Amino acid sequence: MSGAGGTVVAVVLSLVSAAGYALAAVAQSRLASASAGGRGALRRLLARPQWWWAVGLNAAGALAHVAALHYGPLTLVQPLGALTLVAALPIGAYGARRRVTRVEWRGALWTLVGLVGLVAVTGPTAPDEALNLREALVVTAATLLLIGLLSARSRGGGGQDGGTPARGRGLGHATASGVASGVGSALTQTLTAALARDLPGGPTGWWQTTLLAVLIAAFAVGGLLLSQAAYRGGLAAPLAVVNLSNPAAAAVIGVALLGETFRAGAWGWAVAAAASLVAARGVVLLTTGLGPEATVAQTPAPPAAPEPPVPALPALPGPLGAPESRTAPLAGPRPAPLPDPLPVPEPAR
């Protein structure tokens, strides 16, 4: 396929991937808002057909993303993947029967600009580089520790303040989800190199390849479940954090272990720092950007005050000679009984 034709196909597939991820995120968010949590929450979630639709949409988005990378360069496909947030915001608002606020649109724009800037300077300098098995295990252990810390902090930061949901409480789970996905991508690259017998340190045995496959599957499932937990605090801000922490985790692995660096040298580092600040500003706006109509739609109505009891009316006195009523007597003291009549003297005979 020609260069222009391949670029068009890559753009179309990237848009399909972004739409699939956006629909999956909206479905997960609605499931999260409807779930009660607690013990047995995962079992109830797996029994919902909507959950499997979300899993299928995520899988379709991933396949479209991989296919787009086959036809177009990473510098084109990765920034287009950031459109997931822009697509999910109006879809989620439509499902909630509300309008997207101006603050939310500004937050999405700031996040999108920051994400595009971050992705633009974090491409690998040597695409064939991969982790060796020892590095993969070290990264796995460090990632599991980080995910545990983020999840514990997110669980401890929940609650409500003045009746307003703590929408930022899911950002810890969102960060953990993005990190899990980023590490899963790095391990996938390592598995690909292992299958091609090009893994640094020599070829691997079947058990090592199997171990890598199991770790990739675990990170994929864990990232999905962590994002599901993150969406209990909303949709836009957790989705933005997931999309930001994914390339950030991959960039840290590349710079620390694979000898990669940001594009454009020192300017690349400056652009990455500025893009991170811009994206952080967008996440803050998305976290606090729900308008009054959204707050009304998400805040449950207060319970109605109980009606005061109607006092029972006292029973009216019955007719003379009638038996005394068993109902409560009239309030107040009883009247004094009438005195007996005086005796009438008999006439003299």
- For residue 59, CA distances in Å to 66, 116, 120 come to 11, 23, 25
Instruction: Give me the residue label for tokens 């190199």.
Output: 193
- Write down the pLDDT at residue 215: 94
Query: For the stretch 305-339, what's the b/e string if a residue is b when 16 or more beta carbons lie within 10 angstroms of its beta carbon?
Result: eeeeeeeeeeeeeeeeeeeeeeeeeeeeeeeeeee
C-alpha 260/C-alpha 274 separation (Å) is 19
- Write down the pLDDT at residue 250: 81
Q: Where are the beta strands (DSSP E) in 61-218?
A: 160-161, 164-165
Whether residue 235 is predicted with pLDDT greater than 60 in this model: the reply is yes
Across residues 78-97, what is the average pLDDT? 83
- Write down the pLDDT at residue 146: 94
Which two three-digit tokens encode residue 238? 């957790």
Q: For the chain, how are helix, strand and coil distributed in percent, rounded to 5? A: 65, 0, 30
Q: What is the pTM of this model?
A: 0.72
37 Cβ contact list (under 8 Å, min separation 6): 232
Rounded to a whole number of angstroms, the distance between the first and last alpha carbons of the chain is 150
Tell which residue, 96, 113, 118, 94, has the closest CA to residue 30.
96
Whether residue 317 is predicted with pLDDT greater than 70 in this model: the reply is no
Computed on alpha carbons and rounded to an integer, the radius of gyration of the chain in Å comes to 34
- Write down the pLDDT at residue 236: 85
Which DSSP string corresponds to 248-276? HHHHHHHHHHS----TTTHHHHHHHHHHH
Q: Which residue has the higher pLDDT, 256 or 289?
A: 256
Q: Which residue has the higher pLDDT, 154 or 110?
A: 110
Which DSSP string corresponds to 274-320? HHHHHHHHHHHHHHS---HHHHHHHSPPPPPPPPPPPPPPPPPP--T
Q: What does pLDDT average to over the chain?
A: 76
User: Collapsing DSSP states into helix, strand and coil, what is residue 60?
Assistant: helix
Among the residue ranges 87-101, 227-241, 325-339, the one predicted with the least confidence is 325-339
C-alpha 16/C-alpha 143 separation (Å) is 30
- Write down the pLDDT at residue 333: 57
- Write down the pLDDT at residue 308: 57
Which two three-digit tokens encode residue 290? 């729900």
Which of 30-39, 203-212, 292-301, 317-326: highest mean pLDDT? 203-212
